[in-house]
Amino acid sequence: MMSRVPIPPHRDAFGHQVWAYFKDHRSPAEIVERDDGFVSFSENTAWYFGDVRRWSASERRAIRLARGHRALDVGCGAGRVALHLQERGFDVTAIDNSPLVVKTAIARGVKDARVLPFENITRFGSNTFDTVVMFGNNFGLFGSRARAKRLLKQLHRITREGAVILAQSLDPHQTRQPAHLAYQGRNRRRGRLPGQIRIRVRFNEFVGPWFDYLLVSAAEMSAIVDGTGWDVDRFLTEDPRYVAVIRRV
């Protein structure tokens, strides 16, 4: 998970959650708090460590479409995607804004993992990457429609001709939970996309910083991508999730 600045160590709840699993092989729950007070939990932590055979069907299908030689893994977590692409011979740069997550990824063998907020991809040179991966719902790291458009243009700059973005999202409209529908209604009235959720991670005594995470339908994603130098080629659907294969125009 990512936001605008690196997470300071005393707020690195997500990093501690991932690190605890890495060190102890206890699988702590992931507890996420939304700014309306809604809390959700999942037994998710082991998932950040999953070998490709354990990935979702749409991620497994999509990752075969990685192309070229240089890949950028956005929101790398414990490095599951970076490690897989390294094995396939890619030169991978993995970024995350959690110091402990990056420490975990490095300890697991990711050769180039960096604490770098997504905003700071401006530091990469033009024409650097052939593939950008945003798995694990990490299209969400774009945070908002405006920020997505801006960062997609940056991704256009730092990628080469023929590049591809493989980005997963979760359709927020596939819910009947009243609290979610009320939250989406408030977002609409404020001019935000319905699935722009403001959340933070809780882990033991660690309270992560608030950040915006953007969940979109396929149609909403297409509208965002439009005019940024990218085109959605197709969606690999696995309701309520899907991976979009987005090609550089």
* Closest approach of its own copies to the CB of residue 182, in Å: 8
State how far the Cα of 79 lies from the Cα of 94, in Å rounded to an integer. Answer: 8
Question: Which of residues 27, 38, 65, 99 is near its own copies by CB under 8 A?
Answer: 38
Considering the complex, state which of residue 29 and residue 65 has its C-beta at the smaller distance from its own copies: 29
For 206, residues 6+ apart whose C-beta sits below 8 A from its C-beta are: 10, 11, 12, 13, 16
Q: What single-letter DSSP state applies at residue 119?
A: G
Question: Which of residues 5, 39, 146, 219 is near its own copies by CB under 8 A?
Answer: 39
Contacts (CB under 8 A) with its own copies, residues 55-114: none
Interface region with its own copies, contact rule CB under 8 A, candidates 31-39, 88-96, 186-194, 226-234: 31-39
* Closest approach of its own copies to the CB of residue 177, in Å: 8
Residue entry with tokens 């439009």? 226
Q: Are 123 and 131 in contact (CB under 8 A)?
A: no
State how far the Cα of 201 lies from the Cα of 28, in Å rounded to an integer. Answer: 12
Q: Are 79 and 111 in contact (CB under 8 A)?
A: no
Interface region with its own copies, contact rule CB under 8 A, candidates 26-34, 51-59, 74-82, 216-224: 26-34
Question: Which of residues 8, 25, 26, 37 is near its own copies by CB under 8 A?
Answer: 37
Closest CA to 167 of 124, 120, 220: 220
* Closest approach of its own copies to the CB of residue 201, in Å: 10
Considering the complex, state which of residue 14 and residue 203 has its C-beta at the smaller distance from its own copies: 203
* Closest approach of its own copies to the CB of residue 185, in Å: 14
Q: For residue 152, give Cα distances in angstroms to 121, 123, 136, 174, 216.
A: 11, 14, 18, 26, 15
Considering the complex, state which of residue 70 and residue 200 has its C-beta at the smaller distance from its own copies: 200
Question: Which of residues 115, 207, 218, 223 is near its own copies by CB under 8 A?
Answer: 207
Q: For residue 103, give Cα distances in angstroms to 9, 60, 182, 188.
A: 12, 25, 38, 38
Q: Is 31 in the site for its own copies (CB under 8 A)?
A: yes
State how far the Cα of 93 lies from the Cα of 82, in Å rounded to an integer. Answer: 8
Altogether, the residues listed in the chain come to a count of 249
Question: Which of residues 203, 213, 230, 242 is near its own copies by CB under 8 A?
Answer: 203
Contacts (CB under 8 A) with its own copies, residues 167-196: 177, 179
Q: Are 179 and 34 in contact (CB under 8 A)?
A: no
* Closest approach of its own copies to the CB of residue 96, in Å: 22
- Chain residues in the site for its own copies (CB under 8 A): 29, 31, 33, 36-41, 177, 179, 202-207
